[in-house]
Structure 1
Amino acid sequence: MKSAKSVWAASSTLAPFLYPSVCTAASKLPLLACRRSLHHQLRAASSTASTVNDLPESRLNPAPDDYSAPSFNDKAELTLYAGRGGNGCVSFLREAFLPDGPPNGGDGGVGGNIYIQAAPGETSLHKVARQRFIRAGRGRHGQGSSKSGTRGEDIIITVPVGTIVREIERHDPVAEEEVSMRAWRLVQKERKKEERERLELEEQARKNGVEEVEEEADLGRNLQPRGPKPQEDEENPDEADPQRQKWLLYPGMTKSEMRSAEFPKLPKRTRFLKQPPAPVYLDLSEITPNPILLATGGIGGLGNTHFTSREHPRPVFATKGEDAVTMKIELELKLLADVGLVGLPNAGKSTLLRAMTNSRTRVGNWAFTTLQPNIGTVVLDKYSGRPVTTAPKRAASASGEVFDPRTRFTIADIPGLIEGAHLDKGLGIAFLRHVERAGVLAFVLDLSARNAVDALKALWREVGLYAEMRDEEERLRGVESNIDWDLAEDAASPGPINLMHLSGTQAKEDELSPKDYISRKPWFVVATKADLPDTQANFKELKAYLDRVTNGEEAHPSGVEGAWAKKCAAIPVSAINGQGVRRIVHWTVGLFDEIA
């Protein structure tokens, strides 16, 4: 009763104008009650049935919006700009009773370098791909009182382990300047030679007293033309001599003094860090404790204090800083997972990953639900009581080293492959590079979709075609490595190298072709949706086929001789119900112990 009176009083007075919150709160009460009831109804409806299928909603059968999609990018192109060196300073000491003191110009700072480092904890290239352009700090100019310029800031590019770095193009001003200097010296050498021949002809004609001196002089003029071009060179020596472009003159000089200025021989400078030869190719398959140099910054210029001599007691010139390298690189990420899941679309790979790990990848009953690779971790021992899965102790190596029991392993789930994926159908086969380095391959087949044997052969066919594409890429990369990219380098200098130290696994991979390397990996088949009716016959046919492959009665599905066919097993599971999943973990751990 009191609330009704208060509302009536508020409406009959100026209360709505003076106290608007009183009336709005009273008017919103029915609307809030309606919203609450609607929210409870929607919540109750969503909790009783799933929106994906008729099964109740659970962690293995979530709603379509119940997933996590972290940012992921496995390719990036970057343009690197190393820092330019700072200019030297032209300065002189000036005091109260010393107006014309000695030179005290400082040197320019060195430009910043660009490094790359594979660090743990990084799983994607999306942070690097957003930048596109990476610029190191340029060196500061030198100052008076012999103050050198500060060094440019270095840049370290942090990438995930498993990243491949390829150089696409490079612009090195120092190398181009060296080439132009060589060309200019050859031209000067030819001019001196022609001038010497002309003088010899004139001297010979003068000694012999021949009357054809004028004709031979004309012949000498034809050998060494005296047209307007040499006059331009004499008037504009800066354009004729490339070395004059590297000098920085005192700003108080007149134009005539600048044109008539004579410079000493340019000192030969050496970089503290040598620029890596082209083309750069890095395989960062391990954590790099120290960053790897990609682009070296320019050298700073010298101040006028370095050029004091008897001929130049007060030098009015200094040198400019060098331009730095510009490089364009391509980054490609190959995930380092222990197990790689390969299968057709909608085969149950994402549900299997949820059942085996704590991953929250997207699950749906439509094809191509997974659009980017996902990684999950299977924990074998949480160090909190008994292990979840008892892993057998790994045998000692040939050197007598005893390994500790495995406590976890990672699984990579990639988008589904369809027949003709090598022709860029579906999502293509580019995602197969994420399982290329996996220790074990798991082919996920849907028993309720089609013949499992045909599906397995189709998957191996696409894997083999991907390996052939890799073979062609490696061949083209080998051809490019034989090209003389740097014209300024000596012919006897070493060619492009891989700056990473190859481990035993990488050396073994380089000895084999990509197709042979993939086919020799241990593999097994996971037969999903085995709880559905009319799938037993399909599984029996698949198991019989794998037994024949193991016994050598049939060829390997890839068609490669010497492929791995020791224990070709098929494990039936129902991932959505979590049945048979633990057997996959036991079987995978056993394969790891065999290949250790």
Structure 2
Amino acid sequence: MADSNFIDYVKFCSRSGAGGAGSVHFRREKHVPKGGPDGGDGGRGGHIILKGSTQVWTLLHLKYKKHVIAEEGKGGEGGRRKGRDGKDVILEVPLGTIAKDAETFETRFEITEEGQEVILTRGGRGGLGNDHFKTATNQAPHFAQPGEDGIEEWIILELKLLADVGLVGFPNAGKSTLLSSISAARPEIGDYPFTTLVPNLGVIPYRDEKSFVMADIPGIIEGAAEGKGLGLRFLRHIERNSILLFMIPADSDNIKNQYKILLGELQKYNPELLDKKRLLAITKADMLDDELIGQMKKDVPKDLDSIFISSVSGYNLDKLKDMLWQAINVQ
């Protein structure tokens, strides 16, 4: 089985803290028996906050948190002393995390930068003390504001991988093998469908100490846009990749037809994906000679740059990295 530590979807109840009540208090000193109102304000309730972090790459740490509850604000005190604010709860999430309302499925915001903090569920405001309510006609108000209630809501967090290059292909197209060949990533590799059940990221070293990020994503099948196979879970991650590298093995029956199916699934899921730069790699080319490669080029789609590669022998891998780097940097 694949590593189950990659969690890209969680749902939980987020409850911010209620604000503290304002204080009803009057100044009382030895020589001031009838001082005016001096009740302090209540403290703000704690927020639930999402913070972007490059140190986490999955939502696993939130999988079993069904309720996230922030602290309530404290009540105000005499002498215009404000109550203490409730402690915020800060949840670190991977870059590429999207927060949605679980009832309406409306997207609230996205976390895309290291250290970025966004309030997910806002804490209630503290109530005003009676010091705020004195007037010329009511110099001794015996009332103050209660604190504002906190908010309780169900939230969905979805992770969409942030990578420069996303690998698109049927199961067994050689995506995991390519990633392991040109990066330090070690995805599970096997000659059977759906070896890759979770996305893998690899940093690809390039010339002059440059690098780019490649995502090996579970293989697509016909009907993925309708949820077949790994379906939407796979397609969600494709949205964030700058370049799509389509991979079709050289022993396929019909390269053009396989490419058309892959393209069709992406279009059904999100037509905007077709606006991304696309490249095509014909894998497992170590079994071909130059004459056969020349014949097969006639069956390759003419509307995109293509290359024959072999991740096992290393054939054309440096040239592939050159093509990818150029495509990334002419965006």
User: Shared fold (TM-score greater than 0.5)?
Assistant: yes
Give the deviation of 1:431 after TM superposition.
Answer: 1.0
Q: 5 Å matches for 1:366-515?
A: 366-381=192-207, 383=209, 407-467=210-270, 515=271
Q: Is the 8 A contact 1:163 1:334 kept in 2?
A: yes
Which range moved further: 339-348 or 90-99?
90-99
Assess, with a 3 A threshold, how the Cα gap between structure 1 residues 532 and 571 changes in structure 2: closer, same or farther: closer
Give the deviation of 1:350 after TM superposition.
Answer: 0.7
Q: Which amino acid aligns with 1:318?
A: A
Q: Choose the corresponding residue for 2:8, options 74, 80, 88.
A: 74
1-structure distance, mates of 2:222, 2:116: 44
| TM-score (norm. length: structure 1) | 0.50
1:88 maps to 2:22: yes
1-structure distance, mates of 2:16, 2:58: 24
Q: Choose the corresponding residue for 1:544, options 285, 298, 317.
A: 298
Q: Which amino acid aligns with 1:526?
A: A
Give the deviation of 1:290 after TM superposition.
Answer: 5.2
Q: Which amino acid aligns with 2:127?
A: G
Of structures 1 and 2, the larger Rg is shown by 1
Q: Is the 8 A contact 2:255 2:299 kept in 1?
A: no
1:111 maps to 2:14: no
Q: Is the 8 A contact 2:97 2:159 kept in 1?
A: yes
Give the deviation of 1:358 after TM superposition.
Answer: 0.7
Give the deviation of 1:428 after TM superposition.
Answer: 1.5
Assess, with a 3 A threshold, how the Cα gap between structure 1 residues 544 and 520 changes in structure 2: closer, same or farther: farther
Indicate the residue corresponding to 2:187 in structure 1.
361
Q: Choose the corresponding residue for 1:282, options 109, 119, 125.
A: 109
Q: Which of the pair is proportionally richer in strand?
A: 2
Q: Is the 8 A contact 1:113 1:297 kept in 2?
A: yes
1:531 maps to 2:286: yes
Assess, with a 3 A threshold, how the Cα gap between structure 1 residues 464 and 145 changes in structure 2: closer, same or farther: closer
Indicate the residue corresponding to 1:582 in structure 2.
318
Give the deviation of 1:156 after TM superposition.
Answer: 3.4
Q: 5 Å matches for 1:234-253?
A: none
Q: 5 Å matches for 1:174-189?
A: none
Which range moved further: 370-379 or 299-308?
299-308
Give the deviation of 1:292 after TM superposition.
Answer: 2.8
2-structure distance, mates of 1:416, 1:279: 28
Q: Choose the corresponding residue for 1:572, options 309, 316, 321.
A: 309
Q: Which amino acid aligns with 1:325?
A: I
Q: Is the 8 A contact 2:285 2:308 kept in 1?
A: no
1-structure distance, mates of 2:147, 2:230: 49
Assess, with a 3 A threshold, how the Cα gap between structure 1 residues 288 and 279 changes in structure 2: closer, same or farther: farther
Instruction: Describe the superposition over 1:153-183 as per-residue Cα deviations: whole angstroms up to 9, x where unpaired.
Output: 233333332233323459xxxxxxxxxxxxx
Assess, with a 3 A threshold, how the Cα gap between structure 1 residues 346 and 96 changes in structure 2: closer, same or farther: same
Give the deviation of 1:588 after TM superposition.
Answer: 1.7
Indicate the residue corresponding to 2:170 in structure 1.
344
2-structure distance, mates of 1:279, 1:378: 35
Give the deviation of 1:93 after TM superposition.
Answer: 4.8
Give the deviation of 1:133 after TM superposition.
Answer: 2.7
Indicate the residue corresponding to 1:327 in structure 2.
153
Instruction: Describe the superposition over 1:130-172 as per-residue Cα deviations: whole angstroms up to 9, x where unpaired.
Output: 43433222110123444321112233333332233323459xx
Assess, with a 3 A threshold, how the Cα gap between structure 1 residues 144 and 304 changes in structure 2: closer, same or farther: same
1-structure distance, mates of 2:84, 2:78: 14
1-structure distance, mates of 2:132, 2:237: 56
Q: Is the 8 A contact 1:80 1:114 kept in 2?
A: yes
Give the deviation of 1:371 after TM superposition.
Answer: 0.4
Q: Which amino acid aligns with 1:529?
A: K
2-structure distance, mates of 1:119, 1:363: 29
1-structure distance, mates of 2:257, 2:164: 26
Q: Is the 8 A contact 1:85 1:138 kept in 2?
A: yes
Q: Choose the corresponding residue for 2:85, options 148, 151, 155.
A: 151
Indicate the residue corresponding to 2:277 in structure 1.
522
- Structure 1, unmatched stretches of 5+, are 1-64, 171-277, 384-406, 468-514, 551-564
Q: Is the 8 A contact 1:137 1:152 kept in 2?
A: yes
Secondary structure, counterpart of 1:80 in structure 2: strand
2-structure distance, mates of 1:424, 1:451: 24
Give the deviation of 1:533 after TM superposition.
Answer: 7.1
1-structure distance, mates of 2:289, 2:316: 18
Assess, with a 3 A threshold, how the Cα gap between structure 1 residues 146 and 419 changes in structure 2: closer, same or farther: closer
Give the deviation of 1:95 after TM superposition.
Answer: 5.7
Give the deviation of 1:351 after TM superposition.
Answer: 1.1
Secondary structure, counterpart of 1:89 in structure 2: coil
Q: RMSD in angstroms over aligned alpha carbons?
A: 3.2
Q: Is the 8 A contact 2:171 2:221 kept in 1?
A: yes
Give the deviation of 1:330 after TM superposition.
Answer: 2.4
Q: Is the 8 A contact 2:12 2:155 kept in 1?
A: yes
1:167 maps to 2:136: no
| TM-score (norm. length: structure 2) | 0.85
1:317 maps to 2:143: yes
Assess, with a 3 A threshold, how the Cα gap between structure 1 residues 319 and 287 changes in structure 2: closer, same or farther: same
Secondary structure, counterpart of 1:360 in structure 2: coil
Give the deviation of 1:348 after TM superposition.
Answer: 1.7
| Percent identity of equivalent pairs | 36
- Structure 2, unmatched stretches of 5+, are none
Assess, with a 3 A threshold, how the Cα gap between structure 1 residues 528 and 280 changes in structure 2: closer, same or farther: closer
Secondary structure, counterpart of 1:319 in structure 2: coil
Instruction: Describe the superposition over 1:551-592 as per-residue Cα deviations: whole angstroms up to 9, x where unpaired.
Output: xxxxxxxxxxxxxx2x4313131x234343222212222333
Secondary structure, counterpart of 2:268 in structure 1: helix
Instruction: Describe the superposition over 1:210-264 as per-residue Cα deviations: whole angstroms up to 9, x where unpaired.
Output: xxxxxxxxxxxxxxxxxxxxxxxxxxxxxxxxxxxxxxxxxxxxxxxxxxxxxxx
Instruction: Describe the superposition over 1:247-287 as per-residue Cα deviations: whole angstroms up to 9, x where unpaired.
Output: xxxxxxxxxxxxxxxxxxxxxxxxxxxxxxx9663244x42
Instruction: Describe the superposition over 1:492-549 as per-residue Cα deviations: whole angstroms up to 9, x where unpaired.
Output: xxxxxxxxxxxxxxxxxxxxxxx2x322333232222233479975x55541133xx4
2-structure distance, mates of 1:380, 1:531: 23
Q: Which of the pair is proportionally richer in helix?
A: 1
